[in-house]
Amino acid sequence: LASSSTYTVPPTVLLLGPEGAGKTSLLTLFERGDDGPAPTHTTQTTQAVELSASVDSESRTSFRNHDDTSGTHTKFLMVDTPGHGKLRNVAMGKLARTEKLRALVFVVDAAALGEQDVLAQTAGYLHDVLLFLQKRATDQKSGAAKAGRIPVLIAANKMDLFTALPSTLVKTNLEAELTRIRATRSKGLLDSGVGMDEVGSEEQDGWLGEYGSEKFSFKQMQEFDIDVEVLPGNVTGDGPGADKWWWWIAQKI
Ligand code: GTP
């Protein structure tokens, strides 16, 4: 039964990220193509849209629910999740339960990341997502669930706004904040009164990236077979648009 159900489930790409980053806007843009994104409001549940993508160079930039006439398109589901902190369990639950998860797109608001509270909130969420994937990868190595490696795209959105940080800065700012977060959280573990013998493995399990390293970098996730890439774009306004993200997705499904 398990195999027959996995056969019918299309590959899935999950949209995650803090509230207001632009997840729903991006989903509607991909769904509607040239008609542009639809107006959105706060997402409260997950919603899925069926799309098809191709790695054909001709359809490199065409995103829409087009009928496949060439036979080169792959159907996949794109699933939007709520970004609100109070609904984090909904998004993390979807992450844990999605069958045939092929890729994660973590949308961030590059125009707001210069503000320390937005950076901290965004990086905190990203930390939890990456740590989840890391734990899943290590479980897999030790012979548990076979989940496959899941690449992560950090979509640095809102590049149309003049306050937007360039994607190189989005990357380094997130890495710096993740460095801080992982140090704070491991101190929390040490202070939690876990017995001295257990500290080693407990702490290691909760530590994102290369254990004991001074600075976190996304490269460290490669040790767990997790590729993390930061690419700039925008859903509305003038800018690079969403082509790079779409192309990244087309190659992962
Ligand atoms: P939640 O549903 O709360 O998780 O938010 P979300 O990530 O789905 O964000 P949503 O798509 O609702 O977008 C939030 C706001 O950002 C909306 O007003 C969008 O129009 C706006 N927005 C999205 N993408 C862009 C962009 O590329 N540039 C600009 N300037 N605004 C954008």
137-155 pLDDT, tens digit per residue, is 888 665 544 556 899 999 9
Q: Could you give all domains of the chain from N- to C-terminal order, each with its CATH number?
A: 10-165+218-252 (3.40.50.300)
For the CA of 107, the nearest atom of ligand 1 = 7
Mean pLDDT of 201-226: 88
Substitution site in 14, 26, 29, 40 for ligand 1 pocket (most atoms within 8 Å of beta carbon): 40
Q: What is the pLDDT of residues 68-114, one digit of tens each?
A: 666 677 888 999 999 999 999 999 999 999 989 999 999 999 999 99
Q: Residue of the nearest CA to atom 21 in ligand 1?
A: 22
Atom of ligand 1 at shortest distance to CA of 39? Answer: 20
Q: Quick one: average pLDDT of 210-216?
A: 90
Summary mean pLDDT of the chain: 85
Q: Which ligand 1 atom sits closest to the C-alpha of 161?
A: 30
Q: Which residue has the higher pLDDT, 58 or 155?
A: 155
- Average pLDDT (5-16) is 81
Give residue 160's Cα distance to chain centre. 21
User: Using a 6 Å CB cutoff, which residues line ligand 1?
Assistant: 17, 19-25, 40, 42-43, 82-84, 107, 157-158, 160-161, 234-237
Q: How far is CA 118 from CA 42, 113, 134, 146, in A?
A: 17, 6, 24, 35
ipTM of the complex: 0.98
Q: Which of 113, 236, 243, 244 to mutate for ligand 1's pocket (most ligand atoms within 8 Å of CB)?
A: 236
Cα 24 to ligand 1 centre (Å): 7
Contact present, 168 and 93 (Cβ < 8 Å): no
Give the whole-angstrom CA distance, residue 237 versus residue 243: 14
Predicted local distance difference test score (pLDDT) of residue 158: 98
pLDDT digits 0-9 by tens, 152-210:
999 999 999 999 999 999 999 999 999 999 998 877 655 555 544 455 566 677 899 99
Q: What is the pLDDT of residue 126?
A: 98
Residue 172: predicted pLDDT: 98
Q: Which residues pair with 49 in a beta bridge?
A: 78
